[in-house]
Amino acid sequence: MKSAMFILMALAIVVMAKKRTNEEIEQLKKWHSECGEDKETKDLLNKARNGEWIDNPKLGTHLLCYSKKLGWLNEEGKFDVHETKKNFEKYYDEDQVQKLMSNCIKEKTHPEDTAVALFKCRQTVLH
């Protein structure tokens, strides 16, 4: 009985560690705003979250800016592998992180395309 309780407590700690705090959520919202989120961009992001990726330069520009704020891409639009992995480890389990890092860290010719590809891949790997 004690071991079952320990396992449940350990699992609860892991689940809680993966959840974003209110402060983190507010920071993400702030970054979206700083990256020029407006009604059109918000619509594009909502469609993308539902799997409908529309080829629109505004989406690429927004996701590039947001990726830089997250620390996933540097100022040149290149991956910061260490920061990306560190960020993923905060929210995903080890298997998910490994899949994300091996499948989604692929630079494209243009930084905006890299950012869009990362978000698309992340969505595919995690769902």
pLDDT of residue 2: 42
7 within domain boundaries: no
Q: How many residues does the chain have?
A: 127
Give the residue, 16 or 127, on which the prediction is more confident.
Answer: 127
14 within domain boundaries: no
The percent of the chain in helix, strand and coil, each rounded to the nearest 5, is 75, 0, 25
2 within domain boundaries: no
pLDDT of residue 103: 96
32-73: per-residue pLDDT in tens?
Answer: 899 998 999 999 999 999 999 999 999 999 999 999 999 999
**How many C-beta atoms lie closer than 10 Å to residue 27's C-beta?**
14
**How many C-beta atoms lie closer than 10 Å to residue 68's C-beta?**
19
With cut-offs at 50, 70 and 90, classify the pLDDT of residue 16. Answer: very low
Check: pTM over 0.95? Answer yes or no.
Answer: no
Domain of 41, CATH number, reads: 1.10.238.20
Q: How far is CA 5 from CA 18, 69, 106, in A?
A: 20, 40, 42
Q: Report the alpha-carbon distance of residue 1 to residue 18 in Å, rounded.
A: 26
6 within domain boundaries: no
How many domains does the chain divide into?
1
Q: Report the alpha-carbon distance of residue 122 to residue 22 in Å, rounded.
A: 22
11 within domain boundaries: no
Average pLDDT over residues 7-12: 34
> What is the residue whose two structure tokens read 């692929």?
106
72-109: per-residue pLDDT in tens?
Answer: 999 999 999 999 999 999 989 999 999 999 999 999 99
Give the structural domain span for 95.
21-126
76 within domain boundaries: yes
